[in-house]
Amino acid sequence: MLKSWRISYLLLFFSLWFVSPALSQVGITVSPGRLYYRLPPGSRSSQKINVGNPTTRELEVGISIGDWDYDSLGNNISYPAGSIAKSCSQWIQVMPGSYFSLPPNQQQNLDIMLSVPADADVSVPVHTAMLYITQLNPSSAGSNINGASINITVRMGVKLYHSFEQQDNRDIEIIDFADKTVAANNKTKTPSLRCLDLLFNNTGKTWIEGKIKWELLDEKTGEKTKLEPLDFYSIPGDKRTVRKVLPGDLKRGRYNATAIINYGERDELKVAELEFDY
């Protein structure tokens, strides 16, 4: 049986270092990995990102813009610029330009200007885009066992979010909480797994950076088992399934599972409970 209630007390895209010896001369660092804009129609604002060259050779860097979205499991899906309804890729300008050279061990600040059209669709609460920072001159990482040279090109992504809301308006609706058996996959050699699937919708009007905590209670012995928490990112309209694999050494018995979703900076919580046999 699923129970859920609300307790109110009032998303590869990150900076990357290659650290193995073979790749020590390859890489770009970018920070921050996300930019957030809160602007009404007809206004604009600029934020900075920092691009670094941690290598000993000059890098040629190109900037491009695309779109992205989450799938139902929270994975990132890339799209061409301007191809989805929530896109703000056409609102973005990069200064001083979309191409530059970066000397060894140097950094470059870029101004990312977002200009919201006066006739922007305010029925879409959050618009998004992706800024790609790409190394245009591939770096050599040596050769493989057959003697063929290996060249590596690095591309980083910075997510951009835009909201018309000046205040946080976050909310989540829990749809289902169930235990599932995921069948074995012979192709990937993955064994069958027992999981907890938590389904929820993002019904708010802004982005969410949240955390889910999990706890199991053995109803016979009273023993509690805390599972590793999971971080998640979500935008309005998302229908999300978060899957937590149960420990392989979990004892047989009847359990009460609790999932606590913290989806705000002010301890905004939703709680779901489930009884199941293992």
At 166, the pLDDT band (50, 70, 90 cuts) reads confident
Q: What pLDDT does 149 receive?
A: 55
Q: What is the average pLDDT across 7-11?
A: 31
- Residue 226's DSSP bridge partners are 215
User: 84-96 in b/e burial notation, b at 16+ Cβ within 10 A?
Assistant: bebbbbebbebee
With a cut of 90, say whether residue 137 has pLDDT above it.
no
With a cut of 90, say whether residue 189 has pLDDT above it.
no
pTM of the model: 0.80
CATH topology agreement for domains 11-163 and 169-277:
yes
Q: Which of 2, 40, 77, 35 is nearest to 238 (CA)?
A: 77
Tally of residues, the chain:
278
- Weakest-pLDDT range from 74-88, 118-132, 139-153, 201-215: 139-153
Question: Is residue 62 within a helix (H) or strand (E), and if so which, with residue range?
Answer: strand 59-70
| pLDDT tens string 47-59 | 999 999 998 889 9
The fold of the 169-277 domain, in CATH, is: Immunoglobulin-like (2.60.40)
Q: What pLDDT does 187 receive?
A: 74
Domain coordinates of the chain in residue numbers?
11-163, 169-277
Helix, strand, coil percentages, rounded to 5, for the chain: 0, 55, 40
Cis check: omega of the bond before 229, within 30 degrees of 0 = no
Question: What CA–CA distance (Å, rounded) separates 243 from 228?
Answer: 12
Question: What CA–CA distance (Å, rounded) separates 132 from 54?
Answer: 18
Question: Which class would CATH give 11-163?
Answer: mainly beta
Question: What CA–CA distance (Å, rounded) separates 255 from 215?
Answer: 10
Burial status of residue 65 (CB atoms within 10 A of its CB: 0-12, 13-18, 19 or more)? buried
